[in-house]
Structure 1
């Protein structure tokens, strides 16, 4: 038991290039899932109103006319379909090991920028996952373009790691500020909605209210405590990431937030790398073979 505890709380070790490559690839998987979901949903006429640009364009009435025209062009069904097919192909190419650095830079930049221009037509149902994917892929492309300069790669990985911690902490503080989260009412209310609910989970939540309140409180505590991964020379990183990963997997099953799993998991290699750097001299994380 002592050995297992030491192993669980041992500071992780991951090289600079391995952290960058894994971040890059898991983020690409997020974009792949996104584009495949869009292509599949376009076949269902019930989803047409949710992506109707004639309705969504009102949100961008403030934008200059050239921007509005560009968004309108991207929102055309044929153009949107072509972009998402290209995005899916680009994402798959990043999952293939050994592709040239220039290809990975250009592909990562394309995935990030294309997610920004297609996001306005996907206003419903993204809930932050696509914003995380946009940020991570763009930063990974920047780091890849400078992967012979360790200081820049480290800065990019630190940005992703700190952004991940900030995202969790912000979500936790926002829940803590809500009285329904503090008194345990929020979780059943979410589970009974049509968009994010699940009948079986709602029934269990109502049947076991004490457990439901404990789960809600646990979510708040874990999210608020996530920045502690930077303390203790990274010893809390693995248990914390295992907990939050489980949280996302459960949400993916119960609430249908499957893209959240990949979006936030794409930040974990950076979190592992930067938290190990808090416990030893910076610059020793790049001893592994240059990842592609």
Structure 2
């Protein structure tokens, strides 16, 4: 019996699940590889982390110790790893995938309370992505809900790039070339070889800074450019994240953001430049009234 071909939107959302789940699996394994950091004497001790928020510092929040202190935190991370592997496995059935998406969506916000140090845009993108994926499970028979989720994920990705590019453009360090050597000289994100290259070549550093500004700011054009140009821009974005993973250790950024690209592609295929015209937008608002 021939299997039913997936609709384009379902295929895009499945690809988002699979790719982004790789990053979640890596993140879980990274945390589990150093379990000592969650101990009371570790860098991520819950006794210290909870002091960041007044509502968590008192005895009323002690019930969270069961999942936020060892061994509870290890169980939580292992379950997230299992959920991520479930989404990566192409043979996982629908029920298993639904539970995995729901578990990841909920625990994304749970971990946002537990792990506050060292988090970045990766976690924020994952929260939004899996919240949208969960919405498709809450309305399984509504194709508009699935399309809206894909558009939300793709749109959030493009807005993130645009916001990052404009924020860098507003900073003189990026425009004048100090940002690149400044980043690569740090202990956490640094690379001595790259740092020396930019330090000894200020013009190259300035060009690289402007390259990042322009690249991030212009990436949303992939939504309306011709097919080949759009794919080239997405490939550039993926290469950018690949470089960050190789030289700065930001491997989770790669999977979190590139994981949204299938939604961007779906959005691009269903968007026309005319859709952005004021007349059409006003017409759409009037129809909703």
Corresponding residue number in structure 1 for 2:267: 274
CA RMSD across the alignment:
2.7
Q: Which runs of 5+ in 1 are unaligned?
A: 1-13, 283-292
Corresponding residue number in structure 2 for 1:264: 257
Corresponding residue number in structure 2 for 1:238: 231
Q: How does 1:1-292 map to 2 (within 5 A)?
A: 15-43=8-36, 49-62=42-55, 68-232=61-225, 236-279=229-272
- Aligned-pair distance for 1:122? 2.4
- Aligned-pair distance for 1:69? 3.6
Q: Contact (CA 8 Å) 1:101, 1:144: kept in 2 or not? A: no
Runs of 4+ in 1 over 3 A off after TM superposition: 43-49, 62-73, 144-148, 232-236
Cα deviation, 1:144-166, whole Å, max 9, x if unaligned, reads 45344221110000000110011
Q: Which has the higher contact order (CA 8 A, sep 6+)?
A: 1
- Aligned-pair distance for 1:30? 1.8
Structure-2-length-normalised TM-score:
0.85
The farther-off stretch of 99-108 and 241-250 is: 99-108
* Counterparts of 2:201 and 2:79, CA distance in 1: 47
Instruction: Report how many residues are paired.
Output: 269
The 3-state SS of whatever aligns with 1:278 is coil
* Counterparts of 1:24 and 1:45, CA distance in 2: 28
Cα deviation, 1:82-111, whole Å, max 9, x if unaligned, reads 111111111111112242323212210101
- Aligned-pair distance for 1:38? 0.6
Structure-1-length-normalised TM-score:
0.84
Q: Contact (CA 8 Å) 2:17, 2:259: kept in 1 or not? A: yes
Q: Contact (CA 8 Å) 1:71, 1:117: kept in 2 or not? A: no
* Counterparts of 1:67 and 1:242, CA distance in 2: 49
Corresponding residue number in structure 1 for 2:282: none
- Aligned-pair distance for 1:120? 2.9
Q: Contact (CA 8 Å) 1:191, 1:198: kept in 2 or not? A: yes
